[in-house]
Amino acid sequence: MPWRQAWIEPDVPHSSKRPRLDAEAPLTREERIQRRAYEVWISEIMLQQTRVETVREYWKAWMEKWPTLEALANASVDDVLAVWRGLGYYGRARRIHEAAQKVMTDPHLRGQLPANAQELMEHIPGVGPYTAGAISSIVFGHAVPILDGNVARVLCRQTGLYSDPRAKSTNDLLWHMARMLVESVAPHERSDVPGRWNQGLMELGSTLCTPTRPGCDTCPIKPTCLTYAEGRMYEGDLAQSEEKDMEDLCTWCAPIPDPADDSTDVETTSPKKKKSLQQMTLTGKKAAPPKKSQGLDLCTKYTQLFPMRIAKQPPRNETRLVCIIRATSFDGVDLAEPLYMISQRPDQGLLAKLWEFPTDILPIPYDEELDDSTCMDRTHDFVASLRPPPPMRTSADQGPAAVNAPVTLRPTNVRRLGRVRHEFSHLHWHMHVVLAEVDALSPRESNRRDKTLAASAFPSSYVQPIEWALADGVEAASMGTGLQRCWSLLTRSV
């Protein structure tokens, strides 16, 4: 991974024998540490809910374009979103850009990322405990913990913790365990040990202690893994096992599903619905004789139950009418080139500040077919309800009020292009894509030609900022992957 580099000791001066990272002059030790902090910060944000192999090329492209935090701060948000395009969760890119600008302008920060995890969380937008811990330990050598899904899985299996991962008490306990461990292996001065330890825990969870089919046989911490020991005990005859006193019962753990139950799905285990077996090393109860099971051995099945998994809520489905609106004339005068209408999403929420084509939410089930008649009628009404700016500036002799007065759109041809399905973690978009060719009419011209166009009866609530762009401008606009696929339906059909 290109963001993995050797730790830079804070008290060792920069050596002239090291390769120069700047064409004009070698970086000072502090500058090199800050650059490493910037590189780790970007990698950690990109890696959130994204595969390493996907992030690798994005990270390289990012660093080539903005090798320093100052360069990023001077970039435009549109450029940042354009480079981020395809990674998803675009709020991450906006927060990185906002944070870079704050670091460069805040007199408290003076152009540098803090070394302390608490200060990182307090002063850098979008940096939480995990990212702060990664930067502080990997770059600055502080003994602070990190906790991601991989680390949580390792800790749950090591300690046999089976409790609701949504509970604050569970999260606090895991953070406490991670802190105890990193402080015990690096109790003294700053060093590379905390960073290597934290990265080692993540690597262990991603390569061996995986959600399914964990590599327990080759795991280096198998001797201390309570879950593995319990799984082996479950496989054997527990009739002779030592019983524990009732006061030793675990107060953290919920009843554990029976790993021999083939109906147990480790990806969607819901403890309330599954046959349960109490934690055998603590309850003082003798377990039943081992059961036969096909496929994976019972020890592996038992290990896969940890950490507890809660069934996810199904995503919401939304049916959308995506209108690619193409203007070819204005007040009867042909435009030199066709213009396309694009609108910018709100500053907050899903795909914030990204561009899209005007979209109408349809009140029909996503799996219901949209017939041509309904599609055409809905498109005509929706397009006619929009009040965009003129696709070209009107004549100055028409008066200041008329120069940028909203125009009326007269659909001349509507054609269905196809359907696009785009999935977010919590929402699925089912998009019916249409091309609507329109004539744009100024208010005076629309009233003169057709008074019915001046006031559409369609109850449009579409208030997003609208602009006109050439085809090249649409290509360059920062759009989500789903909307890019909608545009591709048109470009492929030409």
What positions carry a catalytic annotation? 44
Phi, psi of 299 (to 5 degrees): -60, -45
CA dist., res. 144 & res. 136, Å (int): 7
Q: Residue 137 CB: number of other CB atoms within 10 A? A: 28
- How large is the angle between the packed helices 52-65 and 77-84, nearest 10 degrees? 150
Q: Please say whether the beta carbons of 417 and 437 come within 8 A.
A: no
Dihedral angle at the C-alpha atoms of 248, 254, 255, 258, nearest 10 degrees? -120
**3-class secondary-structure state, position 272:** coil
Q: Residue 182 CB: number of other CB atoms within 10 A? A: 23
How many distinct helices (H) and strands (E) make up the chain?
A: 18, 9
CA dist., res. 319 & res. 474, Å (int): 23
Q: Residue 364 CB: number of other CB atoms within 10 A? A: 15
Which of 47, 46, 27 is CA-nearest to residue 36? 27
CA dist., res. 467 & res. 426, Å (int): 29
CA dist., res. 104 & res. 72, Å (int): 10
CA dist., res. 186 & res. 199, Å (int): 14
CA dist., res. 215 & res. 198, Å (int): 20
Beta-bridge mates of residue 466: 343
**3-class secondary-structure state, position 379:** helix
DSSP string, 407-463: -EEEEEEEEEEEEEEEE-SSEEEEEEEEEEEEEEE-HHHHHHH-GGGSS--S-----
